[in-house]
Chain A
Amino acid sequence: MLGFLKGLSVTLSQLPKKKVTIQYPDVQPEWPERFRGVHRFIPEDCTVCNQCARICPTNCISLSGTRDENKKLRIDTYDINFDICILCGLCTEVCPTECILMSDTFELANESRDKLYLDMHWLYENQLRYTQRHPERVAQEAAKDHEEAPAT
Protein backbone atom coordinates (compact mmCIF):
# COMPACT_ATOMS: atom_id res chain seq x y z
CA MET A 1 0.00 0.00 0.00
CA LEU A 2 2.66 2.49 0.93
CA GLY A 3 5.24 1.52 -1.65
CA PHE A 4 5.37 5.03 -3.01
CA LEU A 5 6.75 6.29 0.32
CA LYS A 6 9.79 4.13 -0.31
CA GLY A 7 10.21 5.84 -3.65
CA LEU A 8 9.93 9.23 -2.00
CA SER A 9 12.64 8.33 0.47
CA VAL A 10 14.87 7.22 -2.40
CA THR A 11 14.56 10.52 -4.22
CA LEU A 12 15.09 12.45 -1.03
CA SER A 13 18.26 10.52 -0.29
CA GLN A 14 19.60 11.59 -3.67
CA LEU A 15 19.24 15.25 -2.78
CA PRO A 16 22.48 15.82 -0.88
CA LYS A 17 24.58 13.54 -3.10
CA LYS A 18 27.52 14.81 -5.07
CA LYS A 19 26.52 16.16 -8.46
CA VAL A 20 27.61 14.10 -11.43
CA THR A 21 27.49 16.71 -14.14
CA ILE A 22 30.39 18.86 -15.27
CA GLN A 23 30.28 22.53 -16.24
CA TYR A 24 30.92 21.68 -19.85
CA PRO A 25 32.19 24.69 -21.77
CA ASP A 26 34.17 25.84 -18.72
CA VAL A 27 35.40 22.40 -17.74
CA GLN A 28 36.40 20.17 -20.61
CA PRO A 29 35.72 16.48 -20.26
CA GLU A 30 38.70 14.16 -19.86
CA TRP A 31 38.97 11.88 -22.84
CA PRO A 32 40.83 8.59 -22.65
CA GLU A 33 43.80 7.93 -24.88
CA ARG A 34 41.86 5.82 -27.35
CA PHE A 35 39.16 8.41 -27.82
CA ARG A 36 38.19 8.75 -31.45
CA GLY A 37 37.75 12.43 -32.11
CA VAL A 38 38.61 14.37 -35.25
CA HIS A 39 41.69 13.05 -37.04
CA ARG A 40 45.20 14.43 -36.86
CA PHE A 41 47.69 13.93 -39.62
CA ILE A 42 51.48 13.91 -39.86
CA PRO A 43 52.32 14.69 -43.51
CA GLU A 44 56.02 13.81 -43.41
CA ASP A 45 55.29 10.20 -42.41
CA CYS A 46 52.73 9.55 -45.12
CA THR A 47 53.73 7.19 -47.92
CA VAL A 48 50.61 7.84 -50.01
CA CYS A 49 49.67 4.16 -49.89
CA ASN A 50 45.97 5.05 -50.17
CA GLN A 51 44.97 2.33 -47.72
CA CYS A 52 43.04 4.72 -45.50
CA ALA A 53 40.98 5.93 -48.43
CA ARG A 54 40.24 2.36 -49.47
CA ILE A 55 39.18 1.09 -46.04
CA CYS A 56 36.98 4.09 -45.32
CA PRO A 57 33.38 2.85 -45.24
CA THR A 58 32.00 6.22 -46.28
CA ASN A 59 34.67 7.26 -48.78
CA CYS A 60 35.31 10.48 -46.98
CA ILE A 61 39.09 10.56 -47.47
CA SER A 62 40.65 11.81 -50.66
CA LEU A 63 44.38 12.21 -51.13
CA SER A 64 47.01 12.74 -53.77
CA GLY A 65 50.78 12.64 -53.87
CA THR A 66 53.77 12.99 -56.19
CA ARG A 67 57.21 11.45 -56.36
CA ASP A 68 60.01 13.71 -55.25
CA GLU A 69 63.63 13.72 -56.54
CA ASN A 70 64.44 10.58 -54.50
CA LYS A 71 61.55 8.71 -56.15
CA LYS A 72 59.76 8.75 -52.83
CA LEU A 73 56.06 9.45 -52.70
CA ARG A 74 55.16 12.67 -50.95
CA ILE A 75 51.69 13.64 -49.91
CA ASP A 76 50.29 16.71 -51.68
CA THR A 77 46.71 16.91 -50.58
CA TYR A 78 44.84 15.06 -47.90
CA ASP A 79 41.22 15.94 -47.33
CA ILE A 80 38.68 14.45 -45.02
CA ASN A 81 35.04 15.32 -45.46
CA PHE A 82 33.67 15.38 -41.94
CA ASP A 83 30.21 15.78 -43.32
CA ILE A 84 30.16 12.05 -43.93
CA CYS A 85 33.01 10.76 -41.79
CA ILE A 86 31.62 8.50 -39.07
CA LEU A 87 34.78 8.51 -36.95
CA CYS A 88 35.01 4.74 -37.00
CA GLY A 89 38.79 4.79 -36.83
CA LEU A 90 39.37 2.15 -39.48
CA CYS A 91 41.77 4.46 -41.34
CA THR A 92 44.04 4.72 -38.30
CA GLU A 93 44.01 0.96 -38.04
CA VAL A 94 45.31 0.25 -41.53
CA CYS A 95 47.85 3.08 -41.76
CA PRO A 96 51.28 1.43 -41.95
CA THR A 97 53.21 4.49 -40.78
CA GLU A 98 50.64 5.72 -38.26
CA CYS A 99 50.51 9.12 -39.84
CA ILE A 100 46.72 9.39 -39.64
CA LEU A 101 45.57 9.25 -36.05
CA MET A 102 42.62 10.24 -33.94
CA SER A 103 42.74 13.21 -31.60
CA ASP A 104 40.48 14.28 -28.77
CA THR A 105 39.05 17.25 -30.63
CA PHE A 106 35.35 16.61 -30.72
CA GLU A 107 33.60 19.92 -31.24
CA LEU A 108 32.68 19.69 -34.89
CA ALA A 109 29.61 21.90 -34.99
CA ASN A 110 29.73 24.47 -37.74
CA GLU A 111 27.49 26.91 -39.57
CA SER A 112 28.34 25.61 -42.97
CA ARG A 113 28.96 22.22 -44.48
CA ASP A 114 31.89 23.66 -46.42
CA LYS A 115 33.70 24.15 -43.18
CA LEU A 116 33.53 20.45 -42.49
CA TYR A 117 35.77 19.77 -45.45
CA LEU A 118 39.12 19.74 -43.68
CA ASP A 119 42.42 19.63 -45.49
CA MET A 120 45.94 18.51 -44.66
CA HIS A 121 46.93 21.78 -43.06
CA TRP A 122 44.06 21.80 -40.66
CA LEU A 123 44.69 18.18 -39.79
CA TYR A 124 48.38 18.88 -39.19
CA GLU A 125 47.51 21.83 -37.00
CA ASN A 126 45.25 19.53 -35.10
CA GLN A 127 48.25 17.26 -34.58
CA LEU A 128 50.22 20.22 -33.21
CA ARG A 129 47.37 21.12 -30.91
CA TYR A 130 47.19 17.54 -29.73
CA THR A 131 50.93 17.52 -29.04
CA GLN A 132 50.47 20.62 -26.98
CA ARG A 133 47.65 19.16 -24.97
CA HIS A 134 49.09 15.71 -24.46
CA PRO A 135 52.88 15.84 -24.81
CA GLU A 136 53.22 12.61 -22.82
CA ARG A 137 50.97 10.66 -25.19
CA VAL A 138 52.80 11.86 -28.28
CA ALA A 139 56.16 11.08 -26.66
CA GLN A 140 54.89 7.58 -25.93
CA GLU A 141 53.86 7.14 -29.53
CA ALA A 142 57.28 8.29 -30.71
CA ALA A 143 59.02 5.90 -28.33
CA LYS A 144 56.92 3.03 -29.62
CA ASP A 145 57.79 3.94 -33.20
CA HIS A 146 61.44 4.03 -32.31
CA GLU A 147 61.20 0.63 -30.71
CA GLU A 148 59.45 -0.93 -33.66
CA ALA A 149 61.63 0.68 -36.31
CA PRO A 150 64.77 -1.51 -35.95
CA ALA A 151 62.70 -4.68 -35.85
CA THR A 152 61.22 -4.14 -39.30
Chain B
Amino acid sequence: MWQWQTQPLTWSTFLAMLIGTVVILLLALGVVTYGILAERKVLGWMQGRIGPNRVGPFGLLQTVADVLKLFIKEDVVPAAADRPLFLLAPVLAFVPAFMALAVIPFSMQHIFTAGIGTGLLYYLALSALTIHGVMLGGWASNNKYSLIGGMRSAAQMLSYEVPLGLSLVGVALLAGSLNLNDVVRAQQHLGLWFIIPQFLGFCVFIVAATAELNRTPFDLPEAESELVAGYHTEYSGFRWAFFMLTEYVYLFAMAGLTATLFLGGWSGPWLPGWLWFALKAAAFFFFQFWLRNTMPRIRADQLMTLCWKVLLPLGLVNLVLTAVLKAVLLKG
Protein backbone atom coordinates (compact mmCIF):
# COMPACT_ATOMS: atom_id res chain seq x y z
CA MET B 1 0.00 0.00 0.00
CA TRP B 2 2.86 2.40 0.79
CA GLN B 3 4.55 1.88 -2.55
CA TRP B 4 2.02 4.16 -4.17
CA GLN B 5 4.51 6.08 -6.17
CA THR B 6 5.01 3.28 -8.60
CA GLN B 7 1.45 1.89 -8.46
CA PRO B 8 -1.43 2.90 -10.67
CA LEU B 9 -3.86 5.25 -8.97
CA THR B 10 -6.50 3.27 -7.16
CA TRP B 11 -8.63 4.03 -4.14
CA SER B 12 -6.21 2.34 -1.81
CA THR B 13 -3.17 4.18 -3.15
CA PHE B 14 -5.17 7.40 -3.00
CA LEU B 15 -5.93 6.70 0.65
CA ALA B 16 -2.25 6.07 1.25
CA MET B 17 -1.42 9.36 -0.38
CA LEU B 18 -3.93 11.12 1.77
CA ILE B 19 -2.54 9.56 4.93
CA GLY B 20 0.95 10.45 3.83
CA THR B 21 -0.06 14.06 3.31
CA VAL B 22 -1.69 14.30 6.70
CA VAL B 23 1.33 12.75 8.38
CA ILE B 24 3.64 15.24 6.69
CA LEU B 25 1.31 18.10 7.57
CA LEU B 26 1.36 17.05 11.21
CA LEU B 27 5.11 16.67 11.07
CA ALA B 28 5.46 20.13 9.56
CA LEU B 29 3.19 21.63 12.20
CA GLY B 30 5.18 19.95 14.95
CA VAL B 31 8.46 21.15 13.50
CA VAL B 32 7.11 24.67 13.16
CA THR B 33 5.75 24.68 16.71
CA TYR B 34 9.00 23.61 18.22
CA GLY B 35 11.07 25.47 15.67
CA ILE B 36 9.56 28.71 16.89
CA LEU B 37 10.08 27.71 20.50
CA ALA B 38 13.68 26.74 19.74
CA GLU B 39 14.21 30.06 18.02
CA ARG B 40 12.99 31.97 21.03
CA LYS B 41 14.99 29.83 23.39
CA VAL B 42 18.21 30.07 21.41
CA LEU B 43 17.80 33.79 20.95
CA GLY B 44 17.13 34.14 24.65
CA TRP B 45 20.17 32.12 25.62
CA MET B 46 22.37 34.12 23.31
CA GLN B 47 21.10 37.30 24.89
CA GLY B 48 21.55 36.30 28.51
CA ARG B 49 17.87 35.52 28.93
CA ILE B 50 15.97 32.35 29.70
CA GLY B 51 13.41 32.46 26.92
CA PRO B 52 9.80 31.33 27.28
CA ASN B 53 9.40 29.09 30.31
CA ARG B 54 5.94 29.74 31.69
CA VAL B 55 3.55 27.64 29.67
CA GLY B 56 4.18 23.98 30.32
CA PRO B 57 7.47 22.49 31.49
CA PHE B 58 10.37 24.57 30.11
CA GLY B 59 7.83 26.55 28.14
CA LEU B 60 7.19 23.62 25.84
CA LEU B 61 3.59 24.63 25.30
CA GLN B 62 4.34 28.29 24.66
CA THR B 63 3.84 28.12 20.90
CA VAL B 64 0.71 26.04 21.33
CA ALA B 65 -0.71 28.72 23.58
CA ASP B 66 0.30 31.43 21.12
CA VAL B 67 -1.33 29.65 18.21
CA LEU B 68 -4.45 29.03 20.26
CA LYS B 69 -4.62 32.71 21.02
CA LEU B 70 -4.25 33.55 17.34
CA PHE B 71 -7.06 31.20 16.42
CA ILE B 72 -9.58 32.69 18.80
CA LYS B 73 -8.77 36.23 17.76
CA GLU B 74 -11.27 38.21 15.77
CA ASP B 75 -10.73 37.93 12.05
CA VAL B 76 -10.21 41.55 11.05
CA VAL B 77 -10.36 42.55 7.42
CA PRO B 78 -9.57 46.24 6.91
CA ALA B 79 -12.41 48.17 5.32
CA ALA B 80 -10.25 49.52 2.53
CA ALA B 81 -8.68 46.17 1.70
CA ASP B 82 -9.35 44.20 -1.44
CA ARG B 83 -11.41 41.60 0.35
CA PRO B 84 -11.20 38.48 -1.85
CA LEU B 85 -7.49 38.87 -2.45
CA PHE B 86 -6.88 39.70 1.18
CA LEU B 87 -8.57 36.47 2.22
CA LEU B 88 -6.87 34.42 -0.46
CA ALA B 89 -3.29 35.63 0.03
CA PRO B 90 -2.34 33.63 3.15
CA VAL B 91 -3.61 30.41 1.58
CA LEU B 92 -1.75 31.13 -1.65
CA ALA B 93 1.40 31.66 0.37
CA PHE B 94 1.03 28.57 2.50
CA VAL B 95 0.06 25.93 -0.04
CA PRO B 96 3.23 25.97 -2.18
CA ALA B 97 5.44 26.12 0.88
CA PHE B 98 3.80 22.98 2.16
CA MET B 99 3.81 21.29 -1.21
CA ALA B 100 7.55 21.79 -1.47
CA LEU B 101 7.91 19.40 1.43
CA ALA B 102 6.65 16.58 -0.76
CA VAL B 103 10.02 15.90 -2.32
CA ILE B 104 12.23 16.10 0.75
CA PRO B 105 13.57 12.64 1.55
CA PHE B 106 13.29 12.39 5.31
CA SER B 107 14.75 8.90 5.36
CA MET B 108 16.20 6.32 3.01
CA GLN B 109 12.82 5.17 1.75
CA HIS B 110 10.34 7.73 0.67
CA ILE B 111 7.61 6.57 2.98
CA PHE B 112 5.28 9.51 2.99
CA THR B 113 6.77 11.73 0.35
CA ALA B 114 7.25 11.57 -3.37
CA GLY B 115 10.50 10.50 -4.94
CA ILE B 116 9.93 12.16 -8.26
CA GLY B 117 12.79 12.30 -10.74
CA THR B 118 12.71 16.08 -11.07
CA GLY B 119 12.57 16.78 -7.36
CA LEU B 120 14.98 19.66 -7.45
CA LEU B 121 13.13 21.47 -10.22
CA TYR B 122 9.83 20.80 -8.48
CA TYR B 123 11.13 22.38 -5.32
CA LEU B 124 12.42 25.48 -7.11
CA ALA B 125 9.20 25.91 -9.06
CA LEU B 126 7.00 25.70 -5.99
CA SER B 127 9.11 27.89 -3.79
CA ALA B 128 8.75 30.62 -6.41
CA LEU B 129 4.98 30.40 -6.13
CA THR B 130 4.93 31.60 -2.52
CA ILE B 131 5.85 35.06 -3.77
CA HIS B 132 2.37 35.47 -5.20
CA GLY B 133 0.75 35.08 -1.82
CA VAL B 134 3.15 37.49 -0.21
CA MET B 135 2.78 40.08 -2.91
CA LEU B 136 -0.99 39.78 -3.05
CA GLY B 137 -1.14 40.14 0.71
CA GLY B 138 0.90 43.31 0.53
CA TRP B 139 -1.18 44.68 -2.30
CA ALA B 140 -4.60 43.72 -0.97
CA SER B 141 -4.00 45.20 2.47
CA ASN B 142 -4.15 48.68 0.97
CA ASN B 143 -1.49 49.85 3.35
CA LYS B 144 1.61 51.69 2.29
CA TYR B 145 3.94 49.71 4.50
CA SER B 146 2.42 46.46 3.28
CA LEU B 147 2.77 47.54 -0.29
CA ILE B 148 6.43 48.42 0.08
CA GLY B 149 6.98 45.19 1.99
CA GLY B 150 5.20 43.13 -0.65
CA MET B 151 7.11 44.77 -3.49
CA ARG B 152 10.41 44.38 -1.76
CA SER B 153 9.80 40.73 -1.06
CA ALA B 154 8.72 40.06 -4.62
CA ALA B 155 11.87 41.68 -5.95
CA GLN B 156 14.03 39.92 -3.41
CA MET B 157 12.61 36.45 -3.73
CA LEU B 158 12.53 36.53 -7.51
CA SER B 159 16.12 37.75 -7.78
CA TYR B 160 17.49 35.26 -5.34
CA GLU B 161 15.80 32.37 -7.12
CA VAL B 162 18.49 32.76 -9.77
CA PRO B 163 21.64 32.24 -7.64
CA LEU B 164 19.78 29.63 -5.63
CA GLY B 165 19.03 27.69 -8.78
CA LEU B 166 22.57 28.11 -10.06
CA SER B 167 24.09 26.79 -6.88
CA LEU B 168 21.85 23.76 -7.11
CA VAL B 169 22.97 23.01 -10.64
CA GLY B 170 26.45 22.30 -9.34
CA VAL B 171 25.09 19.69 -7.00
CA ALA B 172 22.91 18.17 -9.66
CA LEU B 173 25.90 17.99 -11.95
CA LEU B 174 27.99 16.25 -9.37
CA ALA B 175 25.27 13.82 -8.41
CA GLY B 176 24.13 13.28 -11.98
CA SER B 177 20.48 13.38 -10.96
CA LEU B 178 17.70 15.74 -10.03
CA ASN B 179 16.11 13.19 -7.74
CA LEU B 180 16.88 14.24 -4.19
CA ASN B 181 17.26 10.69 -3.00
CA ASP B 182 19.75 10.01 -5.74
CA VAL B 183 21.71 13.05 -4.62
CA VAL B 184 21.98 11.55 -1.15
CA ARG B 185 23.02 8.19 -2.60
CA ALA B 186 25.66 9.91 -4.70
CA GLN B 187 27.11 11.46 -1.57
CA GLN B 188 27.06 8.09 0.18
CA HIS B 189 28.78 6.57 -2.82
CA LEU B 190 31.39 9.33 -2.92
CA GLY B 191 31.91 9.03 0.83
CA LEU B 192 31.95 12.80 1.04
CA TRP B 193 29.29 15.34 1.76
CA PHE B 194 28.82 17.74 -1.11
CA ILE B 195 29.58 20.65 1.18
CA ILE B 196 33.27 19.94 0.58
CA PRO B 197 33.52 19.62 -3.20
CA GLN B 198 30.77 22.21 -3.56
CA PHE B 199 31.93 24.65 -0.91
CA LEU B 200 31.59 27.70 -3.15
CA GLY B 201 28.18 26.51 -4.21
CA PHE B 202 27.25 25.98 -0.60
CA CYS B 203 28.20 29.55 0.28
CA VAL B 204 26.10 30.91 -2.57
CA PHE B 205 23.30 28.57 -1.61
CA ILE B 206 23.23 29.52 2.07
CA VAL B 207 23.14 33.25 1.29
CA ALA B 208 20.47 32.82 -1.35
CA ALA B 209 18.48 30.49 0.89
CA THR B 210 18.53 32.97 3.76
CA ALA B 211 17.34 35.64 1.36
CA GLU B 212 14.63 33.37 0.01
CA LEU B 213 13.44 32.71 3.54
CA ASN B 214 13.27 36.44 4.30
CA ARG B 215 15.33 35.93 7.40
CA THR B 216 17.94 38.20 8.96
CA PRO B 217 20.04 39.74 7.44
CA PHE B 218 17.67 39.64 4.48
CA ASP B 219 14.44 40.30 6.36
CA LEU B 220 13.68 43.49 4.48
CA PRO B 221 10.15 42.54 3.47
CA GLU B 222 9.15 42.49 7.11
CA ALA B 223 11.81 44.80 8.51
CA GLU B 224 9.97 45.78 11.65
CA SER B 225 12.02 48.86 12.30
CA GLU B 226 11.28 50.26 8.87
CA LEU B 227 8.09 48.76 7.55
CA VAL B 228 6.33 47.95 10.82
CA ALA B 229 5.65 44.36 9.77
CA GLY B 230 6.01 44.53 6.01
CA TYR B 231 3.47 42.69 3.90
CA HIS B 232 1.53 41.29 6.85
CA THR B 233 1.10 44.59 8.71
CA GLU B 234 -2.68 44.46 8.33
CA TYR B 235 -3.07 40.78 9.05
CA SER B 236 -4.03 39.43 12.42
CA GLY B 237 -5.42 36.30 13.96
CA PHE B 238 -5.24 33.06 12.05
CA ARG B 239 -4.53 34.74 8.72
CA TRP B 240 -1.38 36.16 10.18
CA ALA B 241 -0.69 32.75 11.66
CA PHE B 242 -0.83 31.35 8.15
CA PHE B 243 1.88 33.73 6.99
CA MET B 244 4.00 32.78 9.96
CA LEU B 245 3.34 29.14 9.27
CA THR B 246 4.38 29.64 5.64
CA GLU B 247 7.59 31.19 6.73
CA TYR B 248 8.52 28.43 9.10
CA VAL B 249 7.35 25.58 6.88
CA TYR B 250 9.50 27.09 4.19
CA LEU B 251 12.36 27.27 6.66
CA PHE B 252 11.80 23.60 7.39
CA ALA B 253 11.76 22.77 3.70
CA MET B 254 14.94 24.75 3.14
CA ALA B 255 16.58 23.00 6.08
CA GLY B 256 15.59 19.69 4.52
CA LEU B 257 17.01 20.75 1.19
CA THR B 258 20.28 21.89 2.73
CA ALA B 259 20.63 18.67 4.65
CA THR B 260 19.88 16.62 1.57
CA LEU B 261 22.01 18.45 -0.95
CA PHE B 262 25.04 19.44 1.03
CA LEU B 263 25.14 17.51 4.27
CA GLY B 264 24.48 14.00 3.09
CA GLY B 265 20.77 13.85 3.99
CA TRP B 266 19.83 10.71 5.88
CA SER B 267 23.18 9.05 5.32
CA GLY B 268 25.52 8.63 8.23
CA PRO B 269 26.94 5.94 10.45
CA TRP B 270 25.38 4.29 13.53
CA LEU B 271 22.30 6.42 13.92
CA PRO B 272 19.08 5.77 11.99
CA GLY B 273 18.60 7.80 8.82
CA TRP B 274 15.76 9.98 10.03
CA LEU B 275 17.76 11.01 13.08
CA TRP B 276 20.72 12.01 10.93
CA PHE B 277 18.36 14.01 8.81
CA ALA B 278 16.82 15.66 11.85
CA LEU B 279 20.22 16.57 13.25
CA LYS B 280 21.36 18.12 10.00
CA ALA B 281 18.13 20.06 9.60
CA ALA B 282 18.43 21.24 13.20
CA ALA B 283 21.92 22.52 12.46
CA PHE B 284 20.49 24.64 9.66
CA PHE B 285 17.77 25.92 11.98
CA PHE B 286 20.35 26.82 14.60
CA PHE B 287 22.46 28.63 12.06
CA GLN B 288 19.50 30.75 11.05
CA PHE B 289 18.70 31.68 14.67
CA TRP B 290 22.32 32.46 15.29
CA LEU B 291 22.44 34.78 12.29
CA ARG B 292 19.30 36.51 13.48
CA ASN B 293 20.91 37.44 16.77
CA THR B 294 24.06 38.78 15.18
CA MET B 295 23.35 40.46 11.90
CA PRO B 296 21.93 43.85 11.16
CA ARG B 297 19.65 44.12 8.17
CA ILE B 298 21.13 44.61 4.75
CA ARG B 299 20.11 47.73 2.85
CA ALA B 300 17.48 47.37 0.16
CA ASP B 301 19.57 48.72 -2.69
CA GLN B 302 22.61 46.70 -1.70
CA LEU B 303 20.49 43.59 -1.70
CA MET B 304 20.20 43.57 -5.46
CA THR B 305 23.87 44.43 -5.91
CA LEU B 306 24.81 41.45 -3.79
CA CYS B 307 22.54 39.18 -5.76
CA TRP B 308 23.45 40.15 -9.30
CA LYS B 309 27.04 41.28 -8.91
CA VAL B 310 28.37 38.83 -6.36
CA LEU B 311 26.25 35.74 -6.03
CA LEU B 312 25.44 35.25 -9.69
CA PRO B 313 29.06 35.37 -10.92
CA LEU B 314 30.12 33.17 -8.02
CA GLY B 315 27.40 30.71 -8.91
CA LEU B 316 28.56 30.63 -12.52
CA VAL B 317 32.18 30.16 -11.50
CA ASN B 318 31.10 27.33 -9.28
CA LEU B 319 29.20 25.74 -12.14
CA VAL B 320 32.19 25.87 -14.46
CA LEU B 321 34.53 24.56 -11.76
CA THR B 322 32.19 21.72 -11.01
CA ALA B 323 31.93 20.80 -14.66
CA VAL B 324 35.69 20.82 -15.03
CA LEU B 325 36.11 18.86 -11.82
CA LYS B 326 33.67 16.25 -12.98
CA ALA B 327 35.16 15.99 -16.44
CA VAL B 328 38.77 15.80 -15.27
CA LEU B 329 38.72 13.97 -11.96
CA LEU B 330 35.75 11.67 -11.97
CA LYS B 331 35.88 10.55 -15.58
CA GLY B 332 39.61 10.58 -16.02
Contacts and interface: CB of A to CB of B under 8 A. Distances in A.
B295 A21 contact: no
Interface in A1-15: 4, 7-8, 10-12, 14-15
B295 to A, nearest CB: 7
A19 interface: yes
B109 interface: no
A149 interface: no
A14 B295 contact: no
A19 B48 CA distance: 4
Interface in B259-301: 290-291, 293-295
B46 A11 contact: yes
A11 B49 contact: no
Nearest to A18: B48
Most B Cβ at <10 Å: residue of A15, A16, A17, A20? A15
Contacts of A21: 48-50
Contacts of B45: 14-16, 19
B47 interface: yes
A4 B297 CA distance: 12
Contact of A17 (B42, B48, B293): B48
Contacts of A12: 46, 290
A12 to B, nearest CB: 7
Interface residues on B, range: 10 to 19
A4 B46 contact: no
A16 B290 CA distance: 13
Interface residues on A, range: 10 to 19
B46 A14 contact: yes
Contacts of B291: 8
B48 A11 contact: no
Nearest to A25: B54
Interface string B101-137: 0000000000000000000000000000000000000
A76 to B, nearest CB: 46
B290 A14 contact: no
A19 B45 CA distance: 7
Contacts of B48: 14, 17-21
B42 to A, nearest CB: 8
A17 B50 CA distance: 11
A8 B290 contact: yes
Nearest to B48: A20
A10 B290 CA distance: 11
A133 to B, nearest CB: 26
A26 B294 CA distance: 31
B294 A4 contact: yes
B294 A11 contact: yes
Contact of A7 (B49, B50, B294): B294
Nearest to B44: A19
Nearest to B217: A4
19 contacts: A4-B295, A7-B294, A7-B295, A8-B290, A8-B291, A8-B294, A10-B294, A11-B46, A11-B290, A14-B46, A14-B48, A16-B45, A17-B48, A19-B45, A19-B48, A19-B49, A20-B48, A20-B49, A23-B50
Interface of B: 42, 45-50, 290-291, 293-295
Interface of A: 4, 7-8, 10-12, 14-21, 23
Given A11-B293, A14-B45, 9 more contacts: A4-B295, A11-B294, A12-B46, A14-B47, A15-B45, A17-B48, A19-B48, A20-B48, A23-B50
